Structure 1
Amino acid sequence: MKRIVVVGGSIAALTAAGSLRAEGFDGQVTVLSEEPHQPYSRVPLSKGVLAGREPAHSALLPAPGEDIEFRTGRVPYGWTPAAVRSRWPTAPRCRTTGWSSPPEQGHAA
């Protein structure tokens, strides 16, 4: 079975996962996020929530579709190109046939 792991819980990661489905990828899609909560948009967080003008839930991004597995609190710490596996300290290995790590906002690709 084909499986792609997208590393990161940002809007770029969720967009990449959704794009895989939109382009017809029918294998398993897993998104790994280090943060322990649902992904959020950083702009509304910094402009409204932290300033006290908006409620915290207004910065949350929509959950990925049911056909995309989203794992929070997962820190990938290595992968082996020969076996194409990602692993993290708090869970079993995640075998993949490919992976993606979208750039974070403000960082070069």
Structure 2
Amino acid sequence: MSQTLSKINSSIVEEISTLRNEPDWLKQYRKNSLSIYETLPIETSPLYNKYTDAKKMDPQQVSFAPSTTNTIPKLLQKRLHELENQTCIILIGSNIHKINISDDLKV
């Protein structure tokens, strides 16, 4: 599932929540947060706009795709193999793929 940034709506929140087996209270919290966000005016303050290029972003070119632990991009597979015995925490998307801490660092 991949959705462009401008297409995120309540049904997408529902779908993502279902895919992640989230509890109902969290799904409802996300839906409420989205509805509040949708009522907010577009930011026009120069204090904010001075430090962002958000106006230059085309929302149709930004996509949201929730990752799963079994989805590892091919371009990362070689690097992940190189890090196999290294001290590292590897995060792919929003999922922790691997935590490897050497024995001398463990408490």
Query: TM-score category by the smaller chain?
Result: under 0.3
**Higher share in helix:** 2
Q: Please give the TM-score of this superposition, normalised by the length of structure 1.
A: 0.22
The structure showing larger relative contact order (alpha-carbon pairs under 8 Å, at least 6 residues apart) is 1
**Higher share in strand:** 1
